[in-house]
Amino acid sequence: MLRVGLTGGTGAGKTTAARRLAARGAVVVDADALAREVVAPGTPGLAAVVAAFGEGVLGPDGALDRPALGRVVFADADRRRELEAITHPLVRRRRDELVAAAPDDAVVVDDIPLLVETGRAAEWPLVAVVDAPAEVRVARLVASRGLPAEDAWARVRAQADDDGRRAAADVVLDGAGDVAALERQVDALWEERLLPFEEHLRHGRRAPRPDHAVLVAPDPTWPAQAARVLARVRRAAGDRARSVDHVGSTSVPGLPAKDVLDVQVVVDDLATAGAVADDLRAAGLVRPPGEWWDELPEGPRPKAFATEADRARPVNCHVRVAGGQERDVLALRDLLRRDPAERDAYAALKARLAAEPHDSVDHYAERKGPWIRAALARARG
């Protein structure tokens, strides 16, 4: 099973994307629909809302008057948080029931309007955001829902800003165009990313990668991509992790690298390392078979290892026991970050070794060893 978080600003086209995903076979759990269900007439949820907001949020039939409630909460952030404190736990409980009932090979899409606002992005191995300019979204709310422009703007401004939403996104779907254009993007996402991701994750299988080193130009989005991975790893590891860091070449601004995010997790012992690596499946990472270790001067040092099931985002997650190679890994990263001459020398070495024949990525990495050891000696000096 693969769990996907889907969100987007009101009026951006999220509902269209969710419907298309459902048509392709996803199990879509609609948070808005659940939010209505948990405050239906006769429910404890509705009773709690009335107790907090008064009888004025009820219609003549005794059901919740959502526009009346909306006028209160969208104009006052404190009151909106008060409502969320009532409804969100109820929605999550119902959602967990629906996910538990989904097939083992399902792609479960959580359609959550306030996924970013509630700080929950790390709960999903992949987050997709449907994006559209605020002006487009307001025009749609006015045209399709009959809202006054002032109310439409209030709803848009009450949600996360566009930058915050994009920062949480592994995938951004452009919802500014017509329905057909958005559906084509969803279809491509489904076929090219979600289906393979789910299959690899379910079977605990590493996604395929090139068998030799392929360097790319520095990507300014690597830190933001790493931040999302780190948040998921921290959530999965919990308090077992002493530290979780972005390391390796993609953590050094301006350094060409293989398009792989290296993550280092430091724990207390090898048994814990293995348990953490297993639990990283919740972050979209799988633990490949075999034994893994670091080569230290005193001999091999065992570690655990997890890597991507999502072929679109390669990750090497090294789960190391404290007192091993973790300090050298950080020292090399920090040397390359602060010293442009060291960074450029390393870049030249990497380019030369990648261009020369090599049997595997491991062979390429081994040939960097002498330079790295010398650089660490310089860093210690």
Question: Is residue 176 a part of any domain in this protein?
Answer: yes
pLDDT for 328 equals 94
Measured between alpha carbons, how far is 333 from 337 in angstroms, rounded to an integer? 6
Measured between alpha carbons, how far is 1 from 200 in angstroms, rounded to an integer? 10
pLDDT for 237 equals 98
> What are the beta bridge partners of residue 286?
307
- The verdict on 260 and 369 lying in the same domain is yes
pLDDT for residue 122 is more than 80: yes
Question: Is residue 143 a part of any domain in this protein?
Answer: yes
H or E, element range at 6: strand 2-8
Whichever domain contains 260, its CATH number is 3.30.460.10
Q: Is 257 annotated as a binding residue?
A: no
Instruction: Quote the pTM value.
Output: 0.87
pLDDT for residue 226 is more than 80: yes
Average pLDDT over residues 200-207: 97
Q: Is residue 314 within 8 Å of residue 272, measured between CB atoms?
A: no
- The verdict on 302 and 167 lying in the same domain is no
Task: From 203, 231, 264, give the residue that closes a domain.
Answer: 203
Q: Is 12 annotated as a binding residue?
A: yes
- The verdict on 198 and 223 lying in the same domain is no
pLDDT for residue 162 is more than 90: no
Average pLDDT over residues 234-260: 98
pLDDT for residue 260 is more than 90: yes
- The verdict on 97 and 239 lying in the same domain is no
Measured between alpha carbons, how far is 177 from 252 in angstroms, rounded to an integer? 37
Mean pLDDT check: name the lowest of 122-136, 147-161, 209-223.
147-161
pLDDT for 88 equals 87
Question: Is residue 210 a part of any domain in this protein?
Answer: no
Average pLDDT of the chain to the nearest whole number: 94
Whichever domain contains 90, its CATH number is 3.40.50.300
- The verdict on 51 and 190 lying in the same domain is yes
Higher pLDDT, 152 or 26: 26
Average pLDDT over residues 250-262: 98
For the segment 341-360, what is each residue's pLDDT rounded down to a tens digit?
999 999 999 999 999 999 89
Phi, psi of 307 (to 5 degrees): -150, 180
pLDDT for 159 equals 84
- The verdict on 197 and 296 lying in the same domain is no
Question: Is residue 208 a part of any domain in this protein?
Answer: no
Q: Is residue 312 within 8 Å of residue 306, measured between CB atoms?
A: no
Measured between alpha carbons, how far is 317 from 281 in angstroms, rounded to an integer? 12
Burial 39-67 (b: 16+ CB within 10 A, else e): beeeeebbebbbeebeeebbeeeeebeee
- The verdict on 16 and 68 lying in the same domain is yes
Measured between alpha carbons, how far is 363 from 360 in angstroms, rounded to an integer? 5
Q: Is 16 annotated as a binding residue?
A: yes
Q: Is residue 80 within 8 Å of residue 160, measured between CB atoms?
A: no
**Could you give the percent of the chain with pLDDT greater than 90?**
82
- The verdict on 311 and 366 lying in the same domain is yes
Question: Is residue 79 a part of any domain in this protein?
Answer: yes
Task: From 203, 237, 258, give the residue that closes a domain.
Answer: 203
DSSP string, 51-78: HHH-GGGB-TTSSB-HHHHHHHHTT-HH
pLDDT for residue 325 is more than 80: yes
Question: Is residue 354 a part of any domain in this protein?
Answer: yes
pLDDT for residue 199 is more than 80: yes
- The verdict on 341 and 243 lying in the same domain is yes
**Could you give the percent of the chain with pLDDT greater than 70?**
100
Phi, psi of 64 (to 5 degrees): -65, 130
Cα-based distances in Å from 85 to 69, 82, 119? 15, 5, 14
- The verdict on 292 and 243 lying in the same domain is yes
Question: Is residue 121 a part of any domain in this protein?
Answer: yes
Task: From 163, 178, 203, give the residue that closes a domain.
Answer: 203
Question: Is residue 18 a part of any domain in this protein?
Answer: yes
For the segment 66-81, what is each residue's pLDDT rounded down to a tens digit?
889 988 888 888 998 9
* Range list of β-strands (E), 201-276: 215-216, 243-247, 257-258, 261-267
Pinpoint the alpha helices (H) of 58-161.
66-73, 77-100, 134-145, 149-158
- The verdict on 128 and 10 lying in the same domain is yes
Q: Is residue 107 within 8 Å of residue 198, measured between CB atoms?
A: yes
pLDDT for 240 equals 98
Domain interval for residue 291: 215-380
Split into its structural domains, the chain has a count of 2
Q: Is 303 annotated as a binding residue?
A: no
For the segment 308-323, what is each residue's pLDDT rounded down to a tens digit?
999 999 999 999 999 9
pLDDT for residue 114 is more than 90: no
pLDDT for residue 381 is more than 80: no
What 8-state DSSP symbol labels residue 237? H
- The verdict on 277 and 226 lying in the same domain is yes
Q: Is 324 annotated as a binding residue?
A: no
